[in-house]
Amino acid sequence: MLDTLVFVTVLLPFLVAAVLLVLREQNVRKVILVATAGVLALASLAMLRGGAFIMSPAPLYDTLITLGDFVILFVVLFVGIKRKNQIIIWLSVAQIIGLIILDFFMVKEHGNIPAFFADDLSLVMVLIISIVGSLIAVYGIGYMKEHEEHLHLTKSKQPQFFFFIVLFLGAMNGLVLANNLLWMYFFWECTTLCSFMLIGHDDTEIARKNAERALWMNVLGGTAFLFGIILLQKVVGTLSLQEILARGPEFAVAGGAILVPMFLLVFAGMTKAAQAPFQSWLTGAMVAPTPVSALLHSSTMVKAGVYIIVRLAPVYAGTYFSNFVALFGAFVFLATACLAAGQSNGKKILAYSTISNLALIIACAGINTPAAITAAILLILFHAISKALMFLCVGAIEQKIGSRDIEDMRGLFAVMPRTALVAIIGIMTMMLPPFGMLMAKWMAIESAHGQFLLMIMLALGSGVTVLFWCRWAGLMLGTPVAKAKPEAQDITVRAPLYILAGLALVVSFFSPVVYNSLVAPVVKMYYKAAPYALPYGNFDSPVGIFLVYPLFLLLGLGFYFALKQARKVTAAQCSQPYMCGEQQTVDGKPGFLGPLGLHVPVQSGNYYLEQFFGETMLSKWINVIALAVLVIMLFGGAL
């Protein structure tokens, strides 16, 4: 049974991807994608129910993985030569040489290392990838049809598109289940290649440019990953993740040599998670079709980066290195939240807020206490659901109104009442108590108690987050419209939106169950104690208490009375804004009598304070400070 579940979650997507690449019939492709999504979701639930495991496939697979490593590296090298990108060329050559040394001169007994190992953290990741990722793939069916019609393509590129989408899901499942770090490296590089192909899918000049940037930055991370495991093999004598984690406490005490490979692996995670100064690859990825943006930001690519950092946290717990990881994460969390506040482009807001939330997860890994690791795991889960929902909403909105600028979403209920409502739910679950994202942020801030600088940065970053979410929600709610006509939507677009919105609400409501069944076992395994008690379903710790169900009740009552009062407002009670001077309405557009007797229509908009929060203003300094912290971490580890 276990063999079957691992096959379904890891190998089946590779096989389905190959079929989709040669399949041209759209209806058959739709059936295969929906069926694959269902099978992946059921298999991940069955795997979760089965619990922790360790297994080794036949020795032949080790050979195939080694061969696959070299194939990917030579493909990347070919791309570097074709694009004349010296960074990609030399990094690929370095990886090829390093892999030859590791595979043929250092690791003598590949088959003695179990290939797969899973605890509750791995199983949570498989659940996110297989359910959220699959919903994004299904959404892509309806989205890509309209996307290609908009581009006026004479020949559909959907076979190639869905090949890499589904391959991505299999690679991510393999990555989070891998115990042998050589296997993890193979899946790591698979995601790099898939992201490059998906970002450049539309084959425009800007798409090619951003795909190339994503490739070289992630190849840099892949190089760090490979040389990190080379050093681990030399220092520890094994590439078994399970064994390294089991011996984590002795490494934390010994310090020294183990911190250099830890830095390289954490650095690889930071590049994959698009942390400063590498955030530009993820913001540039916004040129790709929306399903790609959603997949990269929510359930796959960037989550691989924070997964490896959180996964290795027990190994570097109690070291100076852990403190610098926390400092780096807290700084990037605050800085990129400020960058998000200066944006009006919906996708860029989501991109920077994603980077910010990933930095918060990294900060939690660096704080490295039971409460902080609890917050990190819950953030991974809740962020994946809500952020995927928001990306898919923006994609649907953009195709309807022709813009992703949130200023153009003013009064969206008049045009897309269903999607607007779903988007509002997504925003609420990102910023309001008692939903999971806010609860996990509360846990993160509390876990930093006693560390004044960290607490200040985490609290300020959370405050700035509220600013841009409230602004966005207010725009969509800003124009009340009675009995707006529901928009028409393909079922493959609408169903993922509704399911993700439902998941965001339900998983938050049952957050105490999620904590008890999935998070607490991971924390107890590596930290020997769970940080929270759950009296009456509320999170209680020595630092504070989070009242889940009383807050849900209060929120429900608030919405009930707000809607009740809103229904009492009549058209006669609504008035146009008072602007001083002589007001007039022309063609239904309010304004005032301006110079030369001309009508001046009303224009409204938000302040984005670009002089404080603009990319031009902040990015350079953010990158310099982040790079300085990384250099200190590296040289401190070497010494």
pLDDT at residue 485, as a whole number = 83
630 near 264, Cβ under 8 Å?
no
pLDDT at residue 577, as a whole number = 64
Interval 612-639: pLDDT, tens? 888 888 999 999 999 999 998 887 655 5
Interval 530-575: pLDDT, tens? 889 998 888 998 888 899 999 999 999 998 998 888 777 776 666 6
Interval 182-239: pLDDT, tens? 999 999 999 999 999 999 999 999 999 999 999 999 999 999 999 999 999 998 888 9
Please list the alpha-helical segments (H only) found in 343-451: 346-367, 370-401, 417-431, 436-447
Global confidence as pTM: 0.95
> In the chain, what is the straight-line distance between the N-terminal and C-terminal CA atoms, in Å?
48
Instruction: Return the half-sphere exposure (C-beta side, CA atoms, 13 A cut-off) of residue 109.
Output: 6
- What distance in Å separates the CA atoms of residue 596 and residue 308, rounded to the nearest whole number? 66
How many CB atoms sit inside 10 A of residue 639's CB? 8
pLDDT at residue 492, as a whole number = 94
Please list the alpha-helical segments (H only) found in 178-204: 181-199
Could you tell me which of 186, 393, 400 has the C-alpha nearest to residue 291?
393
| Cis bond before residue 521 (omega within 30° of 0) | no
Q: How confident is the model at residue 581 (pLDDT cuts 50, 70, 90)?
A: low
More confident residue, 14 or 609: 14
The answer, yes or no, to whether residue 146 has pLDDT greater than 80, is yes
- What distance in Å separates the CA atoms of residue 449 and residue 123, rounded to the nearest whole number? 30
Work out the average pLDDT over 382-403: 94
Interval 109-128: pLDDT, tens? 656 889 999 999 999 999 99
| Average pLDDT value over all residues in the chain | 90
Work out the average pLDDT over 465-486: 81
Beta bridge partners of 545: 540
The answer, yes or no, to whether residue 275 has pLDDT greater than 80, is yes
